[in-house]
Amino acid sequence: MQGFIISLIIFTSIFALFGLGLNLQWGFTGLINFGHVAFMTLGAYTTVLLSVQGVPLPLATLVGALVAAGLGLLMGFATLRLRTDYLAIVTIGVSEMIRLIAVNEGWLTRGTLGLQGFPLPLASLNPTFPVRIVMLLLITAIVALGYRQLWRSLRQTLKKLPPEAIVPITVMALGYGSSLGLLLVGTGWAAKQLKPLLPAWGLGCLLLLALTLIGYFYIGLAQRLTKRRPQWSTGLMLVSTSALAVCGLWIYGIAIDAIYHYEKSPAKTGLMVISVAILALIYWGLEKLVRSPWGRVLKAIREDEEVTKALGKNVFAYKLQVLMLGGAIAGIAGALYSWQLTTVYPDNFPPLVTFDAWTIVVLGGAGNNAGTLLGSAIFWAYYNVTRFILGDIVPLDDARLGAFRIMLIGLLLMVVMVWRPQGILGKKEELTLGQ
Amino acid sequence: MGNEMGNEMGHETPETQLEVQPLLSAIDLCKSYGGLRAVDRVSIQVPSGSITGLIGPNGAGKTTLFNLLCNFAHPDSGQVTFDGAPIHTLPSHQISQKGLVRTFQVARVLSRLSVMENMLLAAQHQTGEKFWNVWFRPGQTQKEERQQREYASEILASVGLSAMAQSYAGALSGGQRKLLEIARALMVRPKMILLDEPAAGVNPTLINQICEHITQWNQAGITFLIIEHNMDVIMSLCDRVWVLAEGQNLASGTPIEIQQDPLVLKAYLGQ
């Protein structure tokens, strides 16, 4: 269980980082990048190849990030005049090119044989007690800062509500959420019991029927509740945030325990500390950036390039900076990804990875860094939870189950888009304004 | 204001104008789109401190001329001089940085930025616009930001948009957008503003307001070049008027002269 949670934290951090790069490019600047995985591939391969040659890991990672930034620069120059769809086509082409180079240039990348046995960070470390304490404090500080921010945003939401409404909407949301959760868990449990008894098609039909009924009833209920009390969705937000906060504390406890017993799985624990620290650092840096005059120019470019030019901003230079910075961040994510996988194959970087990042960013809300973190957490929690649970419930073999999980992600995305087109943390006003 | 020197009735040659060093001058600008000569050997001078009008029938090439002046479209030939230096080879953002700012025919606000952010964006040479400065010179960045915010509030107050400062620019009405666009151009602290139809689609009261503001800012030292179809606006504001038709210079002179010019009457004003 502990190993599972640790790897969940690592994956979440890596993809949050990866998504932050895309969010900077698309969410803030409006550059449609369908080849984000190219930066990750370059970062991963550069770091690993250099570290195999004996270059120290921090330096190798830095060079990896720089190489990824270099690709951003190239892409930027090549697409000087391109916008929207055309830029998207070029980026997807570049990412496939990078992957095919990784497949075919065997002298450099060992092609499809892949790279294994490369150095991992902090893997052979057996930290002394003070070092462990420092790690604990670091993680604790990051978590504490995270909770402070969560608390602040919660308080702001609460301030907007009339005080007498808080209790009823919380109760409503609590009832709604917990009864829905119980029903779903109950259905899952029942299906698990029935699985040996019923033929596959029978169970499938029953499951579909049950889910349709539950879905129909709860969507109708949600609509009626919205009519009676429009703020109740805020209550839903409050309840889920609190649930998330409690969940976060539990995960924090596990992480703390893992650091305390560092020697049990040094490579993973070390990687967890590193990824969380890097994520926190980059998140902080980006938040500062997007709230600065620099970030304001990016948002202006997203809204209207010509106006931004007319106001004396060098739009091209900003686009280059964004492609490079987003690329470098994805490059760092690539290095972490290779350490998490401990082997690197070209197949680790299919175009699908780019779209995972898109799912994360869209789910959380474009142009919102905290949303990207949340999106990544939901994405990976879903991905891992379904891997264990769905197998017991759904009458499908493993290969089909994999496809089925991806279908469900699509469905989740659709539900979010219908319910909150702006993403979970996005601002609704921004969506309705348009031009 | 009131550069009515060297007036002769009828058409002037550019040479007579050169006695007063113009702030902006364009000589023999040409621009073709395919076979269409949108702007054909157009010359125009805008004296420093004036409010100059630019009129002409739809499709006469007025907006194209604006685009050429700011290098939003690159002229095929001809040259543009602003404040004593040629600018037709500069990228458009550098032209704005030199103090020549344009607005657009259909008001273009940055919808998902607040009104205040729209204003702050327009300030030039901000320390915090370089991303390393955001981390390494946060103090300077914040200080400038405070100053710009004060200046922006003043301008917003003068155009009556103070109450909207924190709302999204996309939530403004058409007239308010026009005001915001002009206010935003002022925020650049320009020497000269090119206004493309500031009174189009705006109610009469607001038109009067806009005109008052323009006069006021002109007195504060800003030169204006205005494209406008509303003749009242042109007549009340402008010191000089240039007329374009079918991509060519048709006439120029004081508003009164223009109103009586038979060529202009035929091509533009009717009768």
C-alpha atoms less than 13 angstroms from C-alpha of A377 in its C-beta half-sphere:
16
**Same domain, residue pair B105 and B197:** yes
**Same domain, residue pair B249 and B259:** yes
Listed by start position, the domains of chain A span: 2-161+231-433
State yes or no: pLDDT of B19 exceeds 70: no
User: B117 to chain A: which residues are within 8 Å by CB?
Assistant: 296, 299
Structural contact between residues A229 and A172, judged by C-beta atoms closer than 8 angstroms: yes
In a domain, B179, yes or no: no
Pick the more confident residue, B131 or A46. A46
User: A304 to chain B: which residues are within 8 Å by CB?
Assistant: 108, 110
State yes or no: pLDDT of B217 exceeds 70: yes
B-chain residue closest to A305, CA distance: B110
**Quick one: pLDDT at residue A330?**
96
In a domain, B156, yes or no: yes
Please give the tally of structural domains in chain B: 2
**Quick one: pLDDT at residue B223?**
93
**Same domain, residue pair B19 and B105:** yes
- Tokens matching residue B196: 């493309």
Q: Quick: pLDDT tens for B36-59.
A: 888 889 999 999 999 999 988 888
Q: List per-block mean pLDDT (blocks of 10 residues) for chain A, which spans 435 residues.
A: 88 95 93 93 94 92 95 87 79 91 88 85 82 90 91 85 82 89 89 84 87 89 84 82 89 89 86 93 93 93 90 92 95 95 91 92 89 91 81 78 83 82 78 58
Structural contact between residues A71 and A376, judged by C-beta atoms closer than 8 angstroms: no
Give the position of tokens 């002179």: B253
User: B112 to chain A: which residues are within 8 Å by CB?
Assistant: 299, 302-303, 430, 433
**Same domain, residue pair B156 and B265:** no
Q: Quick: pLDDT tens for A323-360.
A: 999 999 999 999 999 999 999 999 899 999 999 999 99
Q: What percent of chain B has pLDDT over 70?
A: 92
Whether B134 sits inside 8 A of A294 (CB atoms) is yes
In a domain, B210, yes or no: yes
**Same domain, residue pair B132 and B254:** no
- Of A431, A416, A419, A348, the C-alpha closest to A11 is A348
In a domain, B182, yes or no: no
In a domain, B48, yes or no: yes
Say how far apart CA A427 and CA A430 lie, in whole Å.
6
State yes or no: pLDDT of B6 exceeds 60: no
Q: Does A310 touch chain B (CB under 8 A)?
A: yes
Neighbours of B242 (CB within 10 A): 25
**Quick one: pLDDT at residue B270?**
65
**Same domain, residue pair B115 and B93:** no
In a domain, B79, yes or no: yes
Mean pLDDT of B199-204: 84
- Tokens matching residue B26: 């364009």
In a domain, B180, yes or no: no
**Same domain, residue pair B22 and B98:** yes
CATH number at residue B210: 3.40.50.300
Q: Does A312 touch chain B (CB under 8 A)?
A: yes
Nearest to B171 among A304, A321, A433 (CB): A433
Neighbours of A250 (CB within 10 A): 10
Say how far apart CA B41 and CA B46 lie, in whole Å.
17
Its ipTM equals 0.85
**Same domain, residue pair B85 and B44:** yes
User: A313 to chain B: which residues are within 8 Å by CB?
Assistant: 93, 121, 129
CA B89, B94, B98, B100 dihedral sign is positive
**Quick one: pLDDT at residue B17?**
45
Q: Which residues contact B197 (CB under 8 A, 6 or more apart)?
A: B105, B227, B228, B229
How far does A291 lie from chain B, in Å, by closest CA?
A: 9
For residue B256, the enclosing domain spans 14-109+190-269
Q: Quick: pLDDT tens for A197-208.
A: 888 888 888 888
**Same domain, residue pair B18 and B86:** yes
- Of B154, B133, B155, the C-alpha closest to B144 is B133
Whether A294 sits inside 8 A of B131 (CB atoms) is yes
**Same domain, residue pair B104 and B195:** yes
State yes or no: pLDDT of B206 exceeds 60: yes
Strands (E), chain B: 22-33, 36-47, 51-55, 77-82, 85-86, 100-102, 192-196, 223-227, 240-245, 248-253
Q: What percent of chain B has pLDDT over 90?
A: 31
